[in-house]
Amino acid sequence: MGAGDEAVTTRVRRGPLSVVEAGDPTAPALVLLHGIGSSGDAFLAQVPAFADRWHLLAPDAPGYGESDDPAAAPGIDGFADAVARLLDDAGIDRCVLLGVSWGGVIATRFALRHPDRLRALVLADTSRGSGFDPERAAMMAERAAQYAADPVGFVRDRTPLLVADTTPASVVADIASIMDRACRMPGYGYAAASLGETDHTPDLGRIHVPTLVVVGEHDRVCPPADSRLLADGIPGALYTEVPDSGHLPNQECPEAFNRVVGDWLEGLPG
């Protein structure tokens, strides 16, 4: 829509992070956080919809893509604090923060640790973390071990589980390509560990910014029930589903995802 149709996307180095950016740097900031098997490139389909009104920043997380490897495991606090440092490096006081999957867990922790830096929150296809269930926490550790043992096979086998059965093969291939380029050890292991140690259940009531919780109708990784728990726990949160999508609606069904998010953003107080 509008100028966003011709928006130029660039990669910018901000401290230790590589960031996909688009839009006017003087516009309100919309920061986009990718999932555990992805990078800032996962949000390229959001650029045409939002770059005419927002300064988009989609960082590669520490240990992912073109960003530096952290010196030690950051934990979920460290990953959230890296977003705060990104805002500092970009000269941004407050932002709207949108996180997909693991990025949503980071965004939730950011909301708890840096509430003064947050204007609004979008949690997409995410959960309270995996730490509320020992089996889920152990599964995250096992997943990291599987990736470390056979990255190529992991990407091949994991990608089909992320998408709906109706997602076009070309989109599935793009998701796999981003995962292949973005992921490496120890970053993937650090991310998995951060999920396994996190349970936001008792803290959701402390989030007091406008919040949209959105999930793909057919998400098998973080199913709609997980998102409903988030929406029920965060005061005033709005819950909605994206039809015909799996775990990655921003990539599988970008038009529908962009419309849902865009309409909600339009209603935010100035």
Instruction: For the chain, give every domain's residue range.
Output: 2-266
Percent of the chain with pLDDT over 70: 98
pLDDT given at position 6: 59
- Residue tagged 């209603």 (tokens): 267
Q: What is the pLDDT of residues 91-127, one digit of tens each?
A: 999 999 999 999 999 999 999 999 999 999 999 999 9
Indicate the CATH number of 2-266 among 3.40.50.300, 2.40.50.140, 3.40.50.2300, 3.40.50.1820. 3.40.50.1820
Indicate whether 239 pLDDT > 70.
yes
Kindly report the number of other CB atoms within 10 A of residue 1's CB atom.
12
Average pLDDT over every residue of 194-218: 98
Residue 2 — pLDDT band, cuts 50, 70, 90? very low
Residue range 67-78, pLDDT digits in tens: 999 999 999 999
Residue 270: what pLDDT?
72
Q: What is the pLDDT of residue 3?
A: 39
pLDDT band at 269 (very low <50, low <70, confident <90, very high): confident
Average pLDDT over residues 263-268: 96
